[in-house]
Amino acid sequence: MSALAQLIFVLNEFVWFIIFAIVIGFSVKRQGFKYSTVFFLPAVVWGLLLEYATQEVFNRYHYGGGFLVYVANVPLNISLAWAALIFIAYWYITQKVHLKNSIAIAVSAAVPLLLLDFFVLEPTARLFGFWTWTPQSVWFGSPIGNVYGWFWVIVLYLSFYHFLSGKTTDWRKALLLNLGLILLRIAILIAFLQVWKVTFGGL
């Protein structure tokens, strides 16, 4: 990897670390550190697990080697980026649009994030080699099924989180429940992905 390519990877990583820190600060200012962990800690774990499975278990894509910080072979900034983006979308939909229903909130938050991924993140990743799909597919290497998969990733996380947020004021209980429900989210996600695979022949 050339020095310029390495610099681009590190700058990308640094920018997402800064964005995540700003979003965390925003959240902490409004709901405190404890309740912020209820959203962000499970979100980061959820992201790391899915990125690990997609890369290491299903062998669908691989990250470029220019990042500095990895967790289980997954660049940490990728999971932090998704956690930050999901929170921004969630905050806007609940605080500015004022939706109340968990499913409506989750779907409304997912749509702009999927457009961002489709029109910005995937083309940028292809241009700079941040990740490479295997095999290459129709949209800058990314298969259309990726949009379907990430839709459910976002909807499952936010719908469960918002439902839980109205059920308990104990942040420790809420955090444990949100972490524990990752297993249920994974089971439901696998079912939805299987539907796509049966219908369209794969992701």
pLDDT surpasses 90 at 8: yes
Most confident of 131-135, 157-161, 191-195: 157-161
User: Using alpha carbons only, how large is the chain's radius of gyration in Å?
Assistant: 17
Q: Over 90: is that where the pLDDT of 66 sits?
A: yes
What predicted TM-score, i.e. pTM, was given to this entire model?
Answer: 0.93
d(CA 77, CA 63): 12
Write out the residue range of the structural domain in which residue 134 sits: 3-200
31 C-beta neighbours (distance < 10 Å), count: 14
Question: What is the number of domains present in the chain?
Answer: 1
pLDDT digit string (tens) for 76-96?
999 999 999 999 999 999 999
pLDDT at 103 over 70: yes
Ranges 1-5, 123-127, 161-165, 198-202, most confident: 123-127
Whether the pLDDT of residue 202 is over 70: the answer is no
Sign of CA dihedral 110, 114, 115, 117: positive
Residue range 17-29: mean pLDDT, rounded: 97
How far apart, in whole angstroms, are the C-alpha atoms of residue 92 and residue 158? 13
Residue pair 110/158 in contact (Cβ under 8 Å)? The answer is yes
Helical pair 145-165 and 102-116, crossing angle rounded to 10 deg: 140
